[in-house]
Amino acid sequence: MERDLGNGFLISTDKQKLNIELIHTFLSEESYWAKDIKREAVVKLILNSPLCYGIYEASTGNQAGFARVVTDFVKFSWLADVFVLPEYRGHSLGKKLIQKIVSHPELEGCRFMLATKDAHGLYEKYGFSSLENSEDFLMRPMDMKIVEKAL
Tell me: the pLDDT tens digits for 4-43?
A: 898 999 999 999 999 999 999 999 999 999 999 999 999 9
For the stretch 134-144, pLDDT in tens is: 888 888 887 87
> What is the CATH classification number for the domain harbouring 8?
3.40.630.30
Share of the chain above pLDDT 90, in %: 79
69 neighbors 49 (Cβ within 8 angstroms): yes
Question: Residue 110 is part of which domain span?
Answer: 2-131
User: Could you tell me what percentage of the chain is helix, strand and coil, using 3-state DSSP and rounding each to the nearest 5?
Assistant: 35, 25, 45
Asked if the structure places residue 122 within a domain, the reply is yes
Domain count, the chain: 1
Is residue 52 domain-resident?
A: yes
3-state secondary structure of 9: strand
pTM of the model: 0.91
> Could you tell me if residue 26 is inside a domain?
yes
Can you tell me the distance from the alpha carbon of 111 to that of 109, in angstroms, rounded to the nearest whole number?
7
Choose between 136 and 51: higher pLDDT.
51
